[in-house]
């Protein structure tokens, strides 16, 4: 049995990021759960055949009748347990009505916050029975969670078994980097001819997959809405397909098309930047639904055949069948986008902490002060090798100017900083020190060269003058 817990996961992710791994299974942060939700999950009807992990609350509705782990309890057995945990809720249970959520295949349940929940493992006669979790004093009270085994009551309330924040930060990063991959496949008509306008494909499309490679198709919500049927040709474990769907920051309501030539284990739907994704229509979604930034609302009565990754989830109808994604994908290189609080290039550094967001100071030139007259006439010129709007500072991080030339400078030490429009500051590796040179009295030019009030032979410096103190007059 596999023991999975947060410390191991964090060590694994650190090792992977900083040792140059470029191929990952994008659902691996789900740690063995076929359905993983970062926040709250509302379960109304019908079922998920595999296990499910919920980072927020599990919410009952007025007509909840639901089943989990119908086909498998999964392989997530926590240390000290004798059975896999098929339903994990990191938050609490909101018993808002409805009837029963049944946990099958003798799987166990973990609840992070048991406030308002009562755990029953004996019936009204005191006899041992399968575990029931509800908010009443009677084991028969509904709404309830009904197990098909007797789980020790002291093992139910367990918090922070999975770091959902870390898992979803990683999956959002994977989702973004996959979306930056160049597409290598296209929609075609039934004769294999590429469609002229990828945003307006005809109703019946075909995708002819290249062999021995991961096929990437970047598309839009509008394109998907215009498709009633997709036929896959050559789909296999060695020729899977990744759909990247970026709708900007708009919600998507998707009438799922019908599919032919499918194996759901080899189809991956990556939704990027979508706040809310609603699945409608009467067709089954074939493949893994990967939407780590989205609230997913499943309103249609058909099924999902694959893993489900979502920020929030409302399961109002249909089933989730257990076809987990098991293929490693290469994360495409990407450039850090400064200011979005995302590690876009996957180097472990975010925004201004990433060198890609910093300006490069190519040179710093300084002009020393003159010895006389005694005025502040030093100057510093800062040059950067980047384009765009740059602000410059030589004093502190609050005092910037648009010009790269600083003049009328006095003695002192100056720290060179440049700042771009994203607010990212680059500091020069060394300080610039301005000093006034010591003036030497010239003993025969009629000028008080060292500024002490004495000229030529009247200056004590000329009593034993050197040859450099003899002028040309």
CA 248 to chain centre: 16
Query: Which comes out higher in pLDDT, residue 349 or 286?
Result: 286
122, 123, 128, 131 alpha-carbon torsion, rounded to 10°:
-60
pLDDT in tens, 212-265: 999 999 998 988 888 999 999 999 999 999 999 998 889 999 999 999 999 999
3 pLDDT more than 50: no
pLDDT of residue 463: 81
**144/93 Cα distance (integer angstroms):** 10
Average pLDDT of the residues in 158-185: 94
> Which residue, among 153, 158, 167, 154, has the nearest Cα to 32 in the 3D structure?
167
**Contact in structure between 259 and 230 (CB atoms under 8 Å):** yes
Collapsing DSSP states into helix, strand and coil, what is residue 409? strand
Q: Which residues pair with 66 in a beta bridge?
A: 101
pLDDT of residue 408: 92
pLDDT of residue 263: 97
**pLDDT > 90 fraction of the chain, expressed in percent and rounded:** 67
401 pLDDT more than 70: yes
Q: How many CB atoms lie within 10 A of CB 240?
A: 20
pTM: 0.73
pLDDT in tens, 302-341: 999 999 999 999 999 999 999 999 999 998 876 777 887 8
pLDDT of residue 16: 38
Q: How many CB atoms lie within 10 A of CB 365?
A: 11
**Consecutive H or E run containing 37:** strand 35-37
> Which residue, among 446, 437, 444, 448, has the nearest Cα to 466 in the 3D structure?
444
For 329, phi then psi, to 5°, come to -120, 145
**Contact in structure between 446 and 462 (CB atoms under 8 Å):** no
**379/56 Cα distance (integer angstroms):** 59
2 pLDDT more than 60: no
Average pLDDT of the residues in 402-429: 92
pLDDT of residue 4: 39
Tokens of 365: 């030139």
pLDDT of residue 470: 59
10 pLDDT more than 60: no
**Interstrand relation of 41-43 and 58-59 (parallel, antiparallel or unpaired):** parallel
> Which residue, among 445, 440, 386, 441, has the nearest Cα to 418 in the 3D structure?
386
Res. 368 pLDDT band, cuts 50 70 90: confident
**244/178 Cα distance (integer angstroms):** 7
Res. 450 pLDDT band, cuts 50 70 90: confident
8 pLDDT more than 50: no
Tokens of 206: 């075909």
Worst-scoring range by mean pLDDT, 123-127, 313-317, 403-407? Answer: 123-127
Query: Which comes out higher in pLDDT, residue 447 or 255?
Result: 255
pLDDT in tens, 22-42: 689 999 999 999 999 999 999
Res. 12 pLDDT band, cuts 50 70 90: very low
Query: Which comes out higher in pLDDT, residue 152 or 334?
Result: 152
pLDDT of residue 13: 39
pLDDT in tens, 58-97: 999 999 999 999 999 999 999 999 999 999 999 999 999 9
pLDDT of residue 466: 64
180 pLDDT more than 70: yes
Query: Which comes out higher in pLDDT, residue 3 or 170?
Result: 170
Tokens of 147: 């197990």
**pLDDT > 70 fraction of the chain, expressed in percent and rounded:** 91
pLDDT of residue 202: 67
Q: How many CB atoms lie within 10 A of CB 201?
A: 23
Average pLDDT of the residues in 135-153: 96
pLDDT of residue 11: 38
Mean pLDDT of the chain: 89
pLDDT of residue 467: 57
């Amino acid at each position: 049995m596999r023991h999975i817990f947060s410390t191991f996961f964090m060590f694994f992710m650190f090792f992977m990021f900083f040792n140059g791994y470029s191929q990952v299974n994008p659902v691996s942060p789900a740690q063995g759960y076929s359905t993983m939700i970062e926040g709250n999950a509302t379960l109304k009807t019908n079922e998920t055949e595999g296990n499910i992990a919920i980072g927020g609350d599990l919410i009952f509705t007025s007509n909840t009748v639901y089943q989990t782990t119908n086909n498998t309890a999964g392989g997530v057995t926590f240390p000290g347990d004798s059975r896999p945990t098929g339903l994990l809720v990191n938050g609490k249970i909101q018993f808002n009505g409805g009837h029963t959520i049944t946990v099958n295949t003798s799987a166990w349940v973990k609840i992070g916050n048991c406030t308002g929940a009562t755990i029953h493992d004996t019936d009204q006669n005191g006899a041992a029975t399968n575990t029931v979790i509800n908010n009443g004093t009677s084991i028969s009270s509904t709404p309830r969670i009904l197990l098909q085994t007797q789980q020790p009551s002291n093992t139910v309330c367990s918090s922070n078994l999975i770091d959902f924040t870390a898992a979803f930060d990683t999956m959002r990063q994977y989702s973004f980097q996959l979306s930056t991959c160049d597409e290598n496949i296209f929609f075609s008509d039934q004769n294999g001819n590429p469609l002229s306008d990828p945003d307006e494909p005809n109703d019946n499309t075909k995708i002819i997959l290249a062999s021995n490679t991961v096929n990437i198709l970047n598309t839009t919500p509008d394109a998907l809405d215009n498709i009633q049927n997709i036929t896959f040709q050559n789909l296999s474990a060695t020729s899977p397909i990744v759909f990247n769907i970026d709708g900007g920051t708009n919600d998507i309501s998707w009438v799922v098309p019908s599919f032919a030539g499918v194996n759901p284990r080899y189809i991956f739907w990556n939704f990027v930047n979508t706040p809310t994704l609603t699945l409608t229509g009467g067709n089954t979604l074939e493949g893994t639904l990967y939407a780590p930034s989205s609230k997913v609302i499943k309103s249609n009565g058909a099924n999902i055949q694959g893993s489900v990754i979502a920020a929030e989830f409302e399961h109002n109808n249909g089933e989730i069948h257990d076809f987990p994604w098991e293929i490693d994908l290469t994360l495409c290189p990407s450039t850090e986008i400064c200011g979005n609080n995302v590690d876009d290039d996957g180097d472990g550094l975010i925004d201004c902490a990433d060198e890609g967001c910093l300006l490069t100071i190519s040179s710093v030139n300084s002009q020393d002060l003159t010895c006389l007259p005694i005025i502040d006439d030093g100057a510093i010129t800062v040059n950067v090798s980047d384009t765009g709007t740059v602000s410059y500072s030589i004093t502190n991080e609050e005092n910037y100017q648009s010009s790269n030339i600083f003049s009328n400078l006095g003695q002192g030490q100056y720290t060179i900083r440049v700042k771009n429009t994203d607010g990212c500051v680059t500091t020069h590796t060394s300080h610039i020190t301005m000093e006034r040179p010591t003036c030497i009295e010239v003993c025969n030019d009629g000028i008080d060269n060292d500024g002490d009030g004495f000229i030529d032979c009247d200056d004590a410096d000329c009593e034993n003058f050197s040859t450099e103190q003899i002028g040309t007059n």
